[in-house]
Amino acid sequence: MIKSIFEYGELTVRIRGKKSFMLVKSDYDAMVNAENIQTALRRLEGTRYQPYISQMLIEEFNLGKAEENLTRAYLDDFSFILSKLKNKRAIEFFREFNCLFEFKTLASILRSIILGIEWEKALEYTVPFGRLDSSTCKRFIEEKNVKNVLGFIEDENLIKEVEKIIEEVEDPILKANMVELALNKYALEKVWEKLLRLKGRDKFAVKLVGITVDMLNIMAILRLKKLEFKPDEIEAFLIPVFYMLEDKEVKRAVTASNDVDALNVFASGKYVNVISPLLSGYEVRKDLSLFEVALKRYHAKECERIFFQPFFHLGEALAYLHLKMYEVKDLISILTGKYFGLSADKIEYSLVLHQPPYPI
């Protein structure tokens, strides 16, 4: 206990202080229902986002720049947390954790190139992050040069895996999905590896990462089942780590005859309360994003619960960073929706924080 207080004492106080300044539901409601982008942005005046949006209030709105500025709010908090960590392995873990978001941006860029999507349209789902700032994302997508994008990947084996998918898979949509799954798998495996080096010292961090891994595996199985992949082909894209999922449950889902049968397998497991209420809606809409959004909302609630646990552990910093990123991405979704003229209900569908458990 004394060692935990020494390592995380100051961080705990600072993290809980930062969390108290996060946006609330009334902020979300006001922004979603705002008449225009400028009105939505003004809601952020007087919040911790003030330094990041002040310039946008006096100049023509640029969605790419807005995404980059809001992401910087997350990165500044990440840098602050990193500066307060005293444990070397904890620092290594957080650095690897931060790479997750850069890999997601990388996947979005490659998706745009593979599907021939122009930058203006790619803005709907591409969030600039880290080395991949707005201008770099725009340049890569406009150049349509996969080799240049892959230069951001340091692992040669991963580069070869992605190149193989791009060369051998003919269907563009299938190709883009497989590339995204390969990148997500690699990034989360690296995070899990760094987490294990903490030698189980923080069960709360293990829980949050474990649920994230489960989410990726569930969605990978469902997407690949819908694309009619064979069981052995699906297994190649799964992270061989299960937290709340059970090995036999995963095997049953992988060998299920279709995506609906796989969903019924998950609906009988520990994620029953997330999956089961959406089954009837899926029969009508056939949209897997229902489950992806619901799983993210479930994960966000678990992050919130961390702050009702005992103090002085790494899980608090990890939970806060997850919540901060969800908040930043929600803000980007709201501004993107306003930019493209989406209705309030369509914007709310994709939001994670301050929403009901199910996007229906």
Q: What is the mean pLDDT of the chain?
A: 92
Q: How many domains does the chain have?
A: 1
Region 302-329: mean pLDDT is: 90
Instruction: Tell me which residue range forms the domain holding 251.
Output: 203-312
Give residue 13's pLDDT: 83
pLDDT of 313 > 80? The answer is no
**pLDDT, tens digit, 9 for 90 and up, residues 182-199:** 999 999 999 999 998 876
CA gap 61, 84 in Å, rounded: 35
> Lowest mean pLDDT: which of 113-117, 201-205, 258-262, 305-309?
201-205
Residue 70 belongs to a domain = no
Residue 272 belongs to a domain = yes
Give residue 312's pLDDT: 58
pLDDT of 1 > 50? The answer is no
Region 96-113: mean pLDDT is: 95
pLDDT of 60 > 50? The answer is yes
pLDDT of 2 > 60? The answer is no
Residue 28 belongs to a domain = no
**Cβ atoms 108, 129 nearer than 8 A:** no
Residue 18 belongs to a domain = no
Amino acid at 5: I
Residue 232 belongs to a domain = yes
Give residue 10's pLDDT: 73
pLDDT of 6 > 50? The answer is no
> Per residue, what are the HEC states of the chain?
CHHHHHHHHHHHHHHHHHHCCCCCHHHHHHHHCCCCHHHHHHCCCCCCCHHHHCHHHCCCCCHHHHHHHHHHHHHHHHHHHHHHCCCHHHHHHHHHHHHHHHHHHHHHHHHHHHHCCCHHHHCCCCCCECCECHHHHHHHHHHCCHHHHHCCCCCHHHHHHHHHHHHHCCCHHHHHHHHHHHHHHHHHHHHHHHHHCCCCCCHHHHHHHHHHHHHHHHHHHHHHHHCCCCHHHHHCCCCCCCCCCCHHHHHHHHCCCCHHHHHHHHCCCCCHHHHHHHHHHHHHHCCCHHHHHHHHHHHHHHHHHHCCCCCCCHHHHHHHHHHHHHHHHHHHHHHHHHHCCCCHHHHHHHCCCCCCCCCC
Residue 281 belongs to a domain = yes
pLDDT category of residue 87 using cuts at 50, 70 and 90: confident
pLDDT category of residue 161 using cuts at 50, 70 and 90: very high
Q: What is the CATH number of the domain that holds 234?
A: 1.20.1690
For residue 307, what are its two tokens?
């702050």
Residue 220 belongs to a domain = yes
> Lowest mean pLDDT: which of 20-24, 196-200, 295-299?
196-200
Residue 289 belongs to a domain = yes
